[in-house]
Structure 1
């Protein structure tokens, strides 16, 4: 694992920086306090579809600039409209995007469905679906988890039964992020009840607004609507909307989740967060007094070190991919460490502010750092659950990494 760029990587990094210095819409540089508190600038795909007028204009300007360099989907092969970048070039691109605070290469359409179609889709599916993903014309949601199948996803019970040239789908999905903003959804369904649970699963996509699909909001403890329940009642979907072999799509889904767990953008965001916390406290006439408390200083130093460790875990995964290796337990190690660090970092960020950390409104001038740590502390409680629980990650590390027996 190398911490320094070689000559080609350094040249590419400079190219990315030059692009960012000249191409970022003002909407993404002049971020309002409430958007800072949310911890993100907003995904350009959803800005383009359901954002304010300013957000839509900025998103169109941004995606047009990205498209000139084939960076809307930098990880896709060039023949499908992607950038064809190496894993390390993707790492550099995503890192610089994160440092500059612009919308990342994100969304289930670009990051999950697109690669699935490229690897397992028919030529017709590639022709029909990939262009609209790249343009942002169609937004996607991912329907995997169910009330009784989260960490044990292979226990999913949503049924798809053949009826002529169609599947008829009945069941329920939960924690479906941004389903209320999406046009289409791809879901895992059970197509064979007699097969072992990992073998009877298929991958199907459908219009989320069609008859029989009901999207219901889940409001978080922080009054945030980011995720949903989706119900399927006699939903008819053409068989040609299946991607890959019938009953053999479990391993396709798991490969994609391993890539999801490498999250370099999140690692950079943590480094930015701890640095901004230190800068704020040092320069604030009131809260700088907190630095005289040894416990506060030590805790901030611990988080600073851990943010560097989290970054290195992500770099390790990219380095393996760049060498042609497939990260497995390494991806789980990164996900486990970084998701738990997210929660520790938010707690540390509130500690120097005492009772002021109870202020929730990011637009309140009395709220330290626009209340971002207070808001993140609530919104990111799920970090150790979403994308695979910490308990499951430890099991993977134990069995696949350490060779320990199951059970």
Structure 2
């Protein structure tokens, strides 16, 4: 494939840059660039700006409010938005459940939920993992028993990201225990305000409340909230995960993080010289940059291969593995670069406007929390070990 942008693609990049220069709120960009947590209000404010531009649902069909971007345009958007400090869209509505509804849902579900996702009226979370069913998702235990025109749901989900903000959750539930595990799962859309649902916070290593446990006790869910066919949810879940895993590659995020690392290494003085001039350290940066360039080319090649429609198959697993490894390597090298400044959880140094050492205040303070938070990258969305098995079977034929 041609790795150079066409004149039209360069013009699109200029359009993206002009839009971000004018519309991206400076306070939100500053938080993103310094790895500080965003509030629900921050996400909602940026979503309104994107929706007004018509750029929120970049992979939806146009008839449902999407925008017709080529894979290369999507790649340009990813790179430029990461460079500018654009918040990543909360994926559970626009990037995860919406494609499932578009492909497998009925017309009533499309007309009901898709406009509410675009407007931000609904905030979705994901009900996949359970205490005993993470990477081995087919072993999930949450039950849904049909009684008349409702399902009665009982069970527990865990690691439910931003579930404290959500009013909707899409869930994998077991509707049949008499068949092979993968064949007895259904895909339900559940209102989080339904009686019997409770949410309990999980505080992560970085000190943040990002994930939760969600409990279901005799929760009544209308039958019309079933997506597709009963007991066919495993098929829909795998389709959704190809979107999640491709997004987890985070090529644009890694490029922005690498740039941040170089800034930090240029300002961190060791033995009287900038750390970036240290031969060993600069060699480590060079290796990451080479790996990232190769991953970016692979990403472009894969997205170009599906330009006619659809999503990547097992290639999404390959991107997920390599992309998350690179992101974690950058996090680790940044942590090493700041040395003693990497001490985590010093609250006043993480606060906005702290007037302390420039390394702590501008570049270093949030890096420890970011390092701890991103240890999960190689686990969620299907652990990297599972993804390597998929690659070996589906691509290498082993």
The TM-score normalised by the length of structure 2 is 0.90
After superposition, the Cα gap between the structure-2 partners of 1:103 and 1:8, relative to the gap in structure 1 and judged at 3 Å, is same
After superposition, the Cα gap between the structure-2 partners of 1:176 and 1:264, relative to the gap in structure 1 and judged at 3 Å, is closer
C-alpha displacement of 1:300: 1.9
Equivalent in the alignment of 1:153: 137
Equivalent in the alignment of 1:390: 384
Cα shift readout 1:187-239 (whole Å, capped 9, x = no counterpart): 01111111221111111011112211111111112211111111111100000
C-alpha displacement of 1:292: 4.8
Contact 1:159 1:170 in 2 (8 A): yes
Contact 2:268 2:337 in 1 (8 A): no
Contact 1:36 1:370 in 2 (8 A): no
Q: Specify the SS of the correspondent of 1:28.
A: helix
User: For residues 398 and 187 of structure 1, what CA distance do their matches in structure 2 show?
Assistant: 29
C-alpha displacement of 1:182: 0.5
Q: Comparing 149-158 with 347-356, which one deviates more in the overlay?
A: 347-356
Q: Comparing 120-129 with 365-374, which one deviates more in the overlay?
A: 365-374
Contact 1:91 1:264 in 2 (8 A): no
Q: Any gaps of 5 or more consecutive residues in structure 1?
A: none
C-alpha displacement of 1:370: 3.2
Q: Comparing 18-27 with 363-372, which one deviates more in the overlay?
A: 363-372
Q: Does 1:38 align with 2:28?
A: no
User: For residues 322 and 311 of structure 1, what CA distance do their matches in structure 2 show?
Assistant: 17
Equivalent in the alignment of 2:146: 162
Instruction: Report matched runs for 1:63-142 at 5 Å.
Output: 63-142=47-126
Contact 2:245 2:319 in 1 (8 A): yes
Q: Does 1:215 align with 2:209?
A: no
The structure 1 residue matched to 2:296, chosen from 279, 293, 311, is 311
Q: Specify the SS of the correspondent of 1:234.
A: strand
User: For residues 276 and 21 of structure 2, what CA distance do their matches in structure 1 show?
Assistant: 35
After superposition, the Cα gap between the structure-2 partners of 1:255 and 1:355, relative to the gap in structure 1 and judged at 3 Å, is same
Instruction: Report matched runs for 1:208-357 at 5 Å.
Output: 208-263=192-247, 266-284=250-268, 288-324=273-309, 326-357=311-342
Q: Comparing 197-206 with 264-273, which one deviates more in the overlay?
A: 264-273
The structure 1 residue matched to 2:373, chosen from 376, 379, 382, is 379
Contact 1:174 1:230 in 2 (8 A): yes
Contact 2:188 2:227 in 1 (8 A): yes
C-alpha displacement of 1:165: 0.3
Equivalent in the alignment of 1:362: 350
After superposition, the Cα gap between the structure-2 partners of 1:284 and 1:152, relative to the gap in structure 1 and judged at 3 Å, is closer
Q: Comparing 369-378 with 217-226, which one deviates more in the overlay?
A: 369-378
Equivalent in the alignment of 2:2: 2
Aligned length in residues = 388
C-alpha displacement of 1:247: 0.8
Contact 2:249 2:324 in 1 (8 A): no
Q: Any gaps of 5 or more consecutive residues in structure 2?
A: none
C-alpha displacement of 1:285: 5.3
C-alpha displacement of 1:2: 3.2
C-alpha displacement of 1:324: 4.8
C-alpha displacement of 1:163: 0.4
Equivalent in the alignment of 1:192: 176
Contact 2:172 2:185 in 1 (8 A): yes
After superposition, the CA RMSD in angstroms is: 2.2
Q: Specify the SS of the correspondent of 2:159.
A: coil
The TM-score normalised by the length of structure 1 is 0.88
Contact 2:92 2:124 in 1 (8 A): yes
Equivalent in the alignment of 1:13: 13
C-alpha displacement of 1:359: 5.0
